[in-house]
Amino acid sequence: MFKKGLTVQPYMIIVGPNLCNVHTFYVIIDNKSYQTKTFLAALQFCFQTYFILDLKYTPESQHLWFLLQWELFNIVCENDRNVPFINDILQFKV
């Protein structure tokens, strides 16, 4: 993709023998990797990259990113896409 001038949206790579024993966390932006100390730091860094650079969430994962944006980071923007089933889930929060 890079050879064709295309870019890849930021994403995380989590390294370990299994999900219960993870030891390294990376955020990948284009062809650069940034190591973080924790999963939450990687998640926050990845989200902030999307938000600060005004990148669009990929269709395959936008529902998860909007959920994190609205609930974890408490950010709602007027140009956010409506995601009906996420709105339904958020109505049932305790």
How high is the mean pLDDT of the chain? 87
Which domain covers residue 37, as residue numbers? 1-55
Query: Do residue 50 and residue 74 come from a single domain?
Result: no
Query: Are 32 and 64 found together in one domain?
Result: no
User: Alpha helices of 10-61 — where are they, by DSSP H?
Assistant: 39-52
Report whether pLDDT(3) > 70: no
**Could you give the dihedral angle defined by the CA atoms of residues 50, 53, 59 and 61, in that order, rounded to the nearest 10 degrees?**
-10
> Same domain for 44 and 9?
yes
pTM to 2 decimals?
Answer: 0.79
Q: What is the mean pLDDT of residues 62-72?
A: 90
Share of the chain above pLDDT 90, in %: 52
CA distance 62 to 59: 5
* 43 shares a domain with 1: yes
Are residue 1 and residue 39 in the same domain, yes or no?
yes
Number of domains within the chain: 2
pLDDT at 81 over 60: yes
Residue 81 or 36, more confident: 36
Q: Are residues 8 and 50 in the same domain?
A: yes
Pair 42, 25 in one domain? yes
Which backbone phi and psi does 69 adopt, to 5 degrees? -60, -45
pLDDT tens digit string along 24-47?
Answer: 999 999 889 999 999 999 999 999
Instruction: Kindly state the tokens that stand for 19.
Output: 């999900």
pLDDT of residue 35: 98
